[in-house]
Amino acid sequence: MKSTVVVSDPEIMHRTPCFRGTRVPFKTLIDCLEGGYSLDEFRNQFPAVAREQAVQALEEAKDLLLANIA
């Protein structure tokens, strides 16, 4: 099983869920996508987040959402 790419650490951004190894909040990705930006546009603004990290985080969020609905 892969480890989660989004972590919450009291030492980083006051526990704001961020991409592992960065200070980029996961919510920033969601906000960008919601605003009509592409994943590549998000990555141009936040190059510290690898494409694979962003995709995995979205997959994990999808899985959690579907698990809570079922």
Amino acid 2: pLDDT = 62
Q: Which domain holds residue 18?
A: 6-69
Is pLDDT at 1 greater than 60 in this prediction?
A: no
3-state secondary structure 2-60: CCCCEECCCCCHHHCCEECCCCCEHHHHHHHHHCCCCHHHHHHHCCCCCHHHHHHHHHH
* Residue 12 binned pLDDT confidence (cut-offs 50, 70, 90): very high
Residue 37 lies in a domain: yes
Average pLDDT value for residue range 44-67 = 96
Q: Phi and psi of 8, rounded to 5°? A: -125, 115
Is pLDDT at 3 greater than 90 in this prediction?
A: no
The CATH number assigned to the domain holding 19 equals 1.10.10.10
pTM, full prediction: 0.89
Residue 1 lies in a domain: no
CA distance 14 to 54: 21
